[in-house]
Amino acid sequence: MRNLINTIFTLCLFLPLSLTAAEAPIVFSDVSAGVFRFQIKLAEQGNPEAQYKVGEMYEMGNGVAKDLKIAKSWFEKSAAQGHKKSSYKLLYLDIQSNGLSNSTKPQLAKLRQDSASGNADAQYFLGKMYAAGVGVPRNLNNALSWLNKATFNGIPEAEHEAIAVEEELVRVREKEARKRALAQEESEKKRLAEEKRLAKEKQKKALEKKRKSDAALARRKAQRESEARRAANDRKRMEEQRLIAEQQEQAEIPVQENKPVKTAPKKATFESDPCKGKKARFLSTCR
């Protein structure tokens, strides 16, 4: 970033002093092209930092036509001179294109060690790896942590990466929050539906129980009424049989004629009491 600012300042110095800002506007693409021309001269002279920057400009198409193959060649030239950041860049691109292999595993382990030791460039690329899931499982929290460390240690690019990761984390958290809310809402719907189903089932069982109870009461009532009718019919039948029997019995008894009943003659009795005789009524003493 400092080099970019210095370059812009240098270009401004070479502009004709007679031109105003309106007469000679500085287009960003023109500035980028000027920066590229400046860096390519240094890179061709063997400057490893300039070689790395030229590689980045070819990679991003910044000030020059985008060409990944040429970009990689400049990274390789810079790494050959011991430029750590170019080595990390080549490792990132290799794993990104070909996946983690037996040859890149030790290099990734070394990158981790350098990050833990405080190497800002290593921290930056490890953060990028976690952000993109290159060589490591994608983890935005780990990415933000390493990018913040790299930013603190003076890597301007890490700050932009950290902002992007932070914005994505916000979106992810909002999405997860909505997902949890929907899941909770769905769970609540299922709970209410289950409670409603259980209530209906309970009501159905209660109605079925009442129906069976009413049916049993009706059967017992019908049985009692049937037994009462049967008992009444039995009593009626017995009464009828009794009456028939009496009628038959009366029909079998012969009718007897009324004849005078002969009585035995009374024998004469001797009464010692004068008031007990037929003539006693005529006696004054017996009155």
Q: What is the pLDDT of residues 100-156, one digit of tens each?
A: 999 999 999 999 999 999 999 999 999 999 999 999 999 999 999 999 999 999 999
**Residue 232 to residues 21, 236, 237, Cα–Cα distance (Å):** 128, 6, 8
Q: How many CB atoms lie within 10 A of CB 83?
A: 19
Q: Which residues have C-beta within 8 Å of that of residue 114, sequence separation ≥ 6?
A: 84, 121, 122
CA angle, 4 then 63 then 51, to 5°: 65
Is pLDDT at 267 greater than 60 in this prediction? Answer: no
Q: What is the pLDDT of residues 149-196, one digit of tens each?
A: 999 999 999 999 999 999 999 999 999 999 999 999 999 999 999 999
Structure pTM?
0.58
